[in-house]
Amino acid sequence: MSASERPLPVPDRDSLPWWKALVRHELLLQRCASCDALRWPPRELCNRCGTLDWTWIPASGRGTVASWVVNHHMFGPGFRAPYVVVAVRLDDQDDIVMPGAYWGSGDGTEDGADLAIGLPLEVDFDDIDVPSGSEPITLLRWRPARSMAP
Amino acid sequence: MADALRDKTAIVGVGYTEYSKNSGVSTLTLALRAIRAAIDDAGLAHGDIDGVACHRVGDSVQAVIVAQALGIRDLRYHADMFGGGATSTQVLISASMAVASGLADYVVCWRAINARSEWRMGGTGRAAPDTVEFQYQVPYGFVTPPQQFAMYSHAYMHRHGVTAEDLGRVAIFQRGHAMKNERAMMRGPLTMDDYLASRWIVEPFRLFDCCLETDAAVALIVTSAERARDLRRRPVLVSGAAYGGGHTLFSNQRADLTTTAARELSTRLYASAGIGPADVDVAEFYDAFTPLVLMQLEDFGFCAPGDGAAMVADGATSIGGALPVNTHGGHLSEGYVHGLNHVAEAVAQLRGSCGDRQVDGAEVALSTGQPGYVAGCSSAVVLKKGS
């Protein structure tokens, strides 16, 4: 697809470091400095214990399918139907669920036939074309986990 | 106090515009037409309205502009709430709070929307304003309400073994109700074959799992129960109210994608009205998509988790059944006025003015907002026939 058609994310001041890490092919989470709870999307305060101090940590990059949809209708420019969006429940903490693209066959044409709720996935990174002069953008795409080993 | 609002206020006027796919007019004009109709329905004078309240998602005229257009010189209450279907009954609750506290005497609540001809929900791929999480959805082509509710519903269906036919039965029973409603956009019969043959929008949703997109406005007038006694229509009391609850993919505290805000909210709602689910005679559930009806049957306590589909299959939710649901046809078949047409239908049922689709002996109605996923919040009211 052409770079001009694809809708790009608009990071905010909280999320910008998270998006920049994706460009380095790093998936980050925030960890509370007090209670160690993980969180995503990026937010300044721990919603468990109310602490402001936190650090970035790398996520394991593994999760399971919490749900998925197969898009048939053309909802907007930049996508070819059918395409799949997965909601991935991270192994790191089971209340973090992240949407992303699914890359089962590896050629970008997906009908979700190989998916199941609970299927183990691993993260992959998609460096997408952006208009010249724009900041680079990398998106999440998930594929079936090749190994269950930690 | 949970019951501080109980029976203190009443809905005394209801107004509609016509429903269409292209109104050809502005949302301001739609709002003013529905409000004028509601004032007439209540038997009030143009100058009686002293408060205004609406909900919108950057797609409709501001409340204060409507107040100016109504000529309200001493505006005593205004609320302009950002929100979709989850906010629909919250507008009514807020207006009731304003009236009960004495801030205003007659508050008009409305939703005016050109949802088909001007601003389709997420249909252009653009985000609603104030939704910071869209940055995590837009680049994956995951933006619109059907996509987001399909994600949620798929997890629910998997959890409880809900089938396509189970969803189809929701679309079909509501169409049956719409066929008894002259206002409804969809008045032709719908069979299971029609349902199953309809095109995929986003799996697991077919076309008939999705609500309509409608150009329309609905307005309601709220005043005190005391003032309501002297007005033209039999008042419908706001007997119970609750809002809050809800979760999204981004809540980071709710791992469960298979339940609604009603799991928390319904306890407060019933306590505020002093009733239980067995006391509800008719339920108007927010139904942007078919599975929301099943989930709300369960989470508002009308059946056990996972049993919503069986309740529909048994005919309980049809007019004449144990709990008639979406007697107007709902968003699926009457039209889409972002939850406010559900409140208006509940009022009509309690007035006894529903003709062929009237629920016999309707005294207590439940009307709900979008049940909390995507919005991250919800709202619901219990309405009661006044005297």
Judgement on whether residues A72 and A129 belong to the same structural domain of the protein = yes
Domain boundary among A58, A76, A97: A58
Query: How large is the average pLDDT for residues B331-340?
Result: 97
Considering the domain delimited by B9-119+212-385, tell me its CATH architecture.
Answer: 3-Layer(aba) Sandwich (3.40)
B238 or B259, greater pLDDT: B238
Q: What stretches of chain B show up as alpha helix (H) in DSSP?
A: 27-42, 63-70, 88-100, 145-160, 164-178, 192-197, 225-228, 262-273, 291-299, 308-313, 330-333, 340-351
Query: How large is the average pLDDT for residues B238-255?
Result: 88
The three state secondary structure string of chain A is: CCCCCCCCCCCCCCCHHHHHHHHCCCCEEEEECCCCCEECCCCCCCCCCCCCCEEEEECCCEEEEEEEEEECCCCCCCCCCCEEEEEEEECCCCCCEEEEEECCCCCCCCCCCCCCCCCEEEEEEEEECCCCCCCCEEEEEEEECCCCCC
Q: Which of B121, B136, B152, B200 to mutate to test the interface with A (most CBs of A within 10 A)?
A: B136
Judgement on whether residues A54 and A64 belong to the same structural domain of the protein = no
Query: How large is the average pLDDT for residues A100-110?
Result: 79
pLDDT tens track for B55-89: 998 899 999 999 999 999 999 999 999 988 999 99
Query: How large is the average pLDDT for residues B153-178?
Result: 98
Give the least confident one: A72-81, B51-60, B200-209.
Answer: A72-81
**What was the ipTM of the complex prediction?**
0.94
Judgement on whether residues A78 and A107 belong to the same structural domain of the protein = yes
Judgement on whether residues A46 and A118 belong to the same structural domain of the protein = no
What is the biggest distance separating any 2 CA atoms in chain B, rounded to whole angstroms?
Answer: 57
Q: Residue A5 domain-assigned?
A: no
Query: How large is the average pLDDT for residues B357-365?
Result: 98
Judged by a CB distance cut-off of 8 A, whether residue B250 touches chain A is yes
Spell out which residues of chain A touch residue B199, defining contact as CB-CB under 8 Å.
72
**Does B286 qualify as catalytic in the annotation?**
yes
What is the structure's pLDDT at B2?
74
What is the structure's pLDDT at B79?
96
Q: Which of B130, B140, B200 to mutate to test the interface with A (most CBs of A within 10 A)?
A: B140
- Structural domain containing residue A107: 60-150
Q: For residue B329, is pLDDT > 70?
A: yes
Query: How large is the average pLDDT for residues A12-27?
Result: 97
**Does B336 qualify as catalytic in the annotation?**
yes
Contact state of A97 with B249 under an 8 Å Cβ cutoff: yes
Judgement on whether residues A49 and A69 belong to the same structural domain of the protein = no
Q: Which amino acid, B210?
A: C
User: In chain B, what are the domain boundaries?
Assistant: 9-119+212-385
Query: How large is the average pLDDT for residues B2-24?
Result: 95
Question: What is the rounded CA–CA span in Å between residue B17 and residue B2?
Answer: 35
Judgement on whether residues A29 and A103 belong to the same structural domain of the protein = no
Q: Give the CATH number of the domain where residue A90 resides.
A: 2.40.50
Contact state of B257 with A15 under an 8 Å Cβ cutoff: no
Q: For residue B337, is pLDDT > 90?
A: yes
A7 or B295, greater pLDDT: B295
Q: For residue B128, is pLDDT > 90?
A: no
Judgement on whether residues A66 and A123 belong to the same structural domain of the protein = yes
What is the structure's pLDDT at B122?
66
